[in-house]
Amino acid sequence: MSDYYCKNAPLSPIHAYYHANEYGFPEKDESRLFERLSLEIMQAGLSWETVLKKRKSLNSAFCDFNAEKVASFTEKDMERLLNDASIIRNRLKIQSIIHNASVILEFRDSHNGFYNWLIYNNKESINDWVKLFKKTFKFTGKEIVSEFLMSIGIIEGAHEDWCPVKNLIKVKNSA
């Protein structure tokens, strides 16, 4: 298996599945984009393995990353999330996800959605992307932004050149 996956996919079933079926594949769905950004935020300071193991619970806790529902979370919801042992319980990360849901809702009016905002604001360098994300979202440093953009196929780097998944993505993009 180690000969098959690039170095970004440790030898664990949960990583292998994500690597082979999601990481670097283009994504346009608002809830999936919001989920990916939120997972990257949750990962800060933790292992990706931890986040992937808690992914199902995070989806449940954050209403499948429905921006309208998350943007309407109250202090009671915040307390519920902070007491939920099945998710990553970090107040700043949770607050940023709730805030970011409101930003995504604004993109519906300004750009007809999150994906269109990303395409409209296409940047030449990762540093320009980071500046844009920092002024737009909360809890979005360079690592979070670059991993998010790689994970949804906006920028290159998700897979080694020799990785078969990279070729699979190319085939799916050309279809």
Alpha-carbon distance of 66 to 52, in angstroms, equals 19
4 noted as active-site residue: no
40 noted as active-site residue: yes
Catalytic residue among 23, 40, 115, 147: 40
Which string of b and e fits 24-48 if b means at least 16 CB within 10 Å? bbebeebbbbbbbbbbbbbbbeeeb
106 noted as active-site residue: no
Tell me the C-alpha to C-alpha distance, in Å, between residue 68 and each of 94, 105, 111: 15, 7, 16
> What DSSP designation does 156 have?
S
Catalytic residue among 18, 23, 115, 129: 18
Catalytic residue among 23, 30, 35, 48: 48
- Whether residue 152 contacts residue 146, with contact meaning beta carbons closer than 8 Å, is answered with no
For residue 106, the one-letter residue type is E
Alpha-carbon distance of 82 to 91, in angstroms, equals 7
Q: Which helix (H) or strand (E) holds 107?
A: helix 91-111
Catalytic residues: 18, 40, 48
